[in-house]
Amino acid sequence: MAQHEMSTPGGAPHGTLTRERARRTPVGPGRLLTWLPLPVGAALWAWSLPRIRFHNLGDFGLLDRFPVAFYASLAVLTVGFIASLRRAGTAPWWPLTYSLGMLFALKAPTALLYDTVRYAWASKHDAVIARLLTEGTVHPHHTLNGGMSAYDQWPGFFSLNAALIKAFGVQGAAVYTNWAPVIYGALTLPILVVIYRTFTDDWRLVWTAVWIFQLANWVGQDYLSPQGFAYVLFLAVFAVVLRHFVRPGSAGSLRDRDLLDPAAAPAPPATTWQQRAVGVVLLAPLIAAINSAHQLTPVMLCVTLFALCLTRRYRNIGLFVVAVVIMGIWDLTMGRPLFVDTMKTLSGQLGDLLSNAKPGIGGNPTGEGAELVGVVNIVMVVALGALAVVAVVLRRRLARSALPLLLAAVAPAPLLAVNNYGGEMVFRVYLFGLPGSAFFAAAALVPSVAYAGKARRIAQRVMVVALPAGILVLLAGFLPSYYGKESMQYAPPQEVAFVERAYDRAPTGSLVMAATGSFPGAYYHYNHYDHWFFTEQDAAANRQLLKDPGDYLAEGIPAGCPAYIILTPTQRDAVQGEGYLPPGGYTKLVAALKASPHFKIIEEGSHGLLLQHLPIPTAPEALPDDVEP
Amino acid sequence: MNRTKAQLRAVLALSGWVALAATLLPAGAFLRWATILLFVTFGPGLALLHPQSGVRPPARLETLALAAPVSWSLATLTATALFLVQGFSTTVFLISLAAFCTVAALLPGLPLPAAMRQAGDEPSGAAGAGTGAGGEP
């Protein structure tokens, strides 16, 4: 902290007594700018909250439904955060408060306002928890339609939630599902501080990196999900390794202040092998819990630990082996069916970098909103990457001392050459590289001012101009990326009720079809039904589907199987947002199915359409000529 | 051990049993779920990592940061094991964590080595220590 006070922008700590007194006055300009934005931002946010028109979302999701005051509150909080950085070393509670405030301002509105579970996949996870509670156990080696058996093979997260639901005495996870982003964010924040504090003594850099992490974390994996849960544990393992797994005799010049970037922290103290063994014992439950919860996160953990082994400081082969062994044990026992399947399909995707890096499984998103989101996503990735590269190039000493963070940022990238993870791999690679890239992006915006002369002036200008500009650009990018497709994420209670009613009408064993599985309630009592989400296929097959949807679907229904089609407004938005069908395709599909002789309308309203398959009786065989009719 | 430390240990040792008692409250009551959530999220981790005497300030931050992930991990493994053997009940789940908490809180606490020493220290007698030069890679 002392080092940082030395490097606060705008002057040394040894100012005159008068200036010191002025700074201590609560109404002095510096002080005022530190605390005043908080109540102002909170007031604007609270005023805007009931005015967010989320009931009737359009092409731009919540972007054109947030009142101006909401955007103003975020801008005011940003101003307060930047002002609070002036005293980040001596009054860390201010950037902490602003970081928590921004987290709450960004993520809490949907938790406070929505009257249904936000995001179809969160609703799917609710269904998995509900089934676990009903059955009281999991069946990892039973095959379930639509890849749902994977949830029984990695049941850790669902078991924890089921346990909490039972202990709370509530009906299901829906009562807290929408709070997951806030809870995950709040628990992630101190872990990030520990990680960044390992590599810098400059608290401005620490908090700016945390702030950037929040804004750049737009990939939306922080809902109630195994991956969101496992990510928090992953970061905790990463933090423990960085703090407590430095090998003796390896830091050398990394503790020499003269050779370090002025903002860099000396390498943490080295630990004996006995101490690191204790560390492994502490980490083993974390690693085991990650493996019990999610398939991909253990892989990301292993590649990150492997990347750390490339440095002398963190060459902990034993820990890496322990992580690999725990992953192997889980994959070959509980996760065996999916693991074997994945291995079989791996050869087809191996090395197909372009295909694996393609986001989603559909075509190009259609609609102005979805197209905007696509462009902004790319701009966000490029902006963050460019800032990080600038810091690595210009602050080579910092890059050297924070090499483990740099390696961790790039370590997940090779996985793009291995698998596409259902069109998600590119987002996951970005997410797991984010702690490192956010740090270096912050280092580009918060240069050390422990320089003299011209270098100091340049650093101060960068701080005054580039930091606010960079943060505001990231904030402007976060909102469309996170809330731009909100019409896919929110369904009114009437639509959810419609879906449950539709499922209840279908007898057990029915085939339930829908344009996509991205709608709340899609997996309601999922083990009672087979599913066919018929537009989730390649573009050529969808062109075939659109030629005659009725015939196409009827041909795919197994003989004698009762079948239903559920179509909802959320599916319409998802099909458009994910680019499964060309513009106008969904409307054409619905009209054709309504007119098809293969299906009859059971229920139709503004919240959904339910069709039942009518098996067309085969024509009776013609009797032989010599037989009297 | 000073009085504050002893009080903290006592609170941690009892926290699980308080959470268990909270299940007697009506289903879904705020006091019930808030007590249980706080215990499951922080109890076991804090009991395991509670700050040692003579640690540097960053150790307190680390304890705070790691308490929730460690607690969730232990709770996850406990719940998963119970569901796998078809033996889950709220009582068994909470008693397991409460007992762990009580034992861990009464033990000295897991040492976080980097927090106990000053940066730059090298452990004496460590295998491979002493070359001290070069740094990366």
Are A247 and B128 in contact by the 8 Å Cβ rule? The answer is yes
Any domain includes B121: no
The band of A3, judged by pLDDT with boundaries at 50, 70 and 90, is very low
- pLDDT at residue A243 is higher than 60: yes
- Cβ A312–B136 below 8 Å, yes or no? yes
- Cβ B113–A271 below 8 Å, yes or no? yes
Any domain includes B132: no
pLDDT of the residue at A363:
62
Of B66, B74, B119, the CB nearest to A255: B119
Any domain includes B137: no
Mutant choice from A282, A316, A396 vs B, greatest count of B C-beta within 10 A: A282
The band of A217, judged by pLDDT with boundaries at 50, 70 and 90, is very high
**Tokens 């991909």 appear where?**
A296
The band of A629, judged by pLDDT with boundaries at 50, 70 and 90, is very low
- Cβ A233–B119 below 8 Å, yes or no? no
Are A431 and A231 in contact by the 8 Å Cβ rule? The answer is yes
Any domain includes B85: yes
Higher pLDDT, A596 or A460: A596
Residues of A in contact with B42 (CB under 8 A): none
In a 3-state reduction of DSSP, which class is residue A626? coil
The backbone torsions φ and ψ at residue A196, rounded to the nearest 5 degrees and listed phi first, read: -70, -35
Closest-CA residue to A440 (of A407, A469, A464, A415) = A407
pLDDT of the residue at A91:
87
pLDDT of the residue at A25:
56
Nearest chain B Cα to A246, which residue? B114
Query: pLDDT tens digit string along A386-423?
Result: 999 999 999 999 999 999 999 999 999 999 888 877 77
Closest-CA residue to A343 (of A300, A295, A381) = A295
Peptide bond into B137 cis (omega under 30): yes
Any domain includes B97: yes
pLDDT of the residue at B6:
86
Euclidean distance between CA atoms A115 and A175, whole angstroms: 10
**Number of domains, chain B:** 1
Tell me the residue range of the domain where B103 lies. Answer: 3-115
Query: pLDDT tens digit string along A138-190?
Result: 999 888 877 899 999 999 999 999 999 999 999 999 999 999 999 999 999 99
Query: CB of A160 within 8 Å of any CB in chain B?
Result: yes
Any domain includes B8: yes
Query: pLDDT tens digit string along B68-92?
Result: 999 999 999 999 999 999 999 999 9
pLDDT of the residue at B137:
43
Q: In Å, how far are A262, A456, A459, B72 from A452, measured between CA atoms?
A: 12, 5, 10, 48
Any domain includes B124: no
Any domain includes B122: no
- Our CA angle for B96, B32, A290, nearest 5°, is 45
Query: CB of A407 within 8 Å of any CB in chain B?
Result: no
The backbone torsions φ and ψ at residue A521, rounded to the nearest 5 degrees and listed phi first, read: 90, 0
